[in-house]
Amino acid sequence: MTVRIGMIGPGGMGQAHIDRIHSVIAGGRVVAVSDVDEVRAKEVAGRIGATAHPDSASLIGSDDVDAVMICSYGPAHEVDVLAAIAAGKPVFCEKPLTPTAEAALRIMEAEQAGGRRLVTVGFMRRFDRSYRQMKALLDSGELGETLMVHCAHRNPTVPDHYTWDMAINDTAIHEVDTMRWLLGEEFVSARVDKPKKTSLRFEHLQDPLVLILETESGVRVDDEIFVNCQFGYDIRCEAVAEKGTVSLADQNAIEVRDGSGHRNSIARDHNDRFWGAFVTEVQEWISAVSRGEHTGSTSWDGYAAACVCDAGVKALTDDGVVKVEMIAKPAFYA
């Protein structure tokens, strides 16, 4: 069976997913698109032989669409995720599921009322080979208990529409989810350290910043967020355990040795660095949809990440440690 996918918001991320689905991923085809920019929807639809819908509601309701992929702007996600749940269709929603925990809670309530897990959140790092190897080692217990994790998330730059809070709820949210998954526990508090700011980009951003999180058992995670670092897309992670450490290695495929020295390349963006993770993530989602199953992160993961980000955003404006407020995990997501 070919899963007929309706894509909402085929911007950069959406078009990268379309390319993957139509080239290396099996079992799915994007048959419908919609976008707030109708010209773009028609252009993308024309290029891939899909139908352009005038709006997301008509795409979700279409009998030709089996499953929905949402790649639009974060604040637009809630209404479309709720519509997909109401239509009983599996929905893959790019992160953040919603920019606030309150909105994610409404999604969880609707999904539970429908009685079926339909929502998958696009937290692709869980599918990255290196993070998976790191998790397998930590879970084996060989290094003892994990005590601390040092992360860095550096972007060469960010677009003009990037607002001050996005450092937490659009960028650090990746580490928030990946660390919840890696450590298998929830965060209880957040604090933000604000170092000297780079002069090379927007005045309205605290860039860089360091988000410091603590888990239920006391593991401390620090996450350097530097979204205008200029030089490349640089993702680092080192877990410190009782008997050793484990880190992500450099992700370069080749090393060059010549008259200028010995060097390797640095990824330019997330599609470059996490290409393999995106392919595995979307392939697993399409395969699960065709079997009538659910895979990947749930609405609970989207909600839990939003709760931590809400605390992080508060810690960015107020000083000091902010408690993470979260409901108890519903049995539906156990």
Out of 120, 169, 171, 178, which residue is the one contacting ligand ISE (CB under 6 A)? 171
Instruction: Please choose, out of 61-69, 126-134, 166-174, 314-322, the segment that lies near ligand ISE by the rule CB under 6 A.
Output: 166-174
Tell whether residue 77 is a contact of ligand ISE (CB under 6 A).
no
Least CB distance from residue 173 to ligand ISE, whole Å?
A: 8
The interaxial angle of helices 101-114 and 299-317, nearest 10 deg, is: 170
Q: What is the DSSP track for 107-119?
A: HHHHHHHHTS--E
Residue 254 and residue 265 in contact, taking contact as beta carbons nearer than 8 Å: yes
Cα 229 versus chain centre, distance: 20
Looking at residues 273 to 312 of the shown chain, list those that interact with ligand ISE (rule: CB under 6 A).
none
Out of 16, 270, 300, 301, which residue is the one contacting ligand ISE (CB under 6 A)? 270
Least CB distance from residue 179 to ligand ISE, whole Å?
A: 15
Strand pairing category for 234-241 and 245-247: antiparallel
- Rounded-to-integer distance, Cα 268 and Cα 247, Å: 20
Cβ neighbourhood burial of 213 (10 Å; 0-12, 13-18, 19+): buried
Residue 249 and residue 235 in contact, taking contact as beta carbons nearer than 8 Å: no
What is the total residue count of the chain?
A: 334
Tell whether residue 155 is a contact of ligand ISE (CB under 6 A).
yes
Instruction: Please choose, out of 38-46, 170-178, 292-300, 325-333, the segment that lies near ligand ISE by the rule CB under 6 A.
Output: 170-178
Looking at residues 203 to 262 of the shown chain, list those that interact with ligand ISE (rule: CB under 6 A).
227
**Residue (70 or 227) nearer to ligand ISE, CB:** 227
**Residue (155 or 215) nearer to ligand ISE, CB:** 155
Least CB distance from residue 53 to ligand ISE, whole Å?
A: 25
Q: Return residues touching ligand ISE (CB under 6 A).
A: 155, 158, 170-171, 174, 227, 270
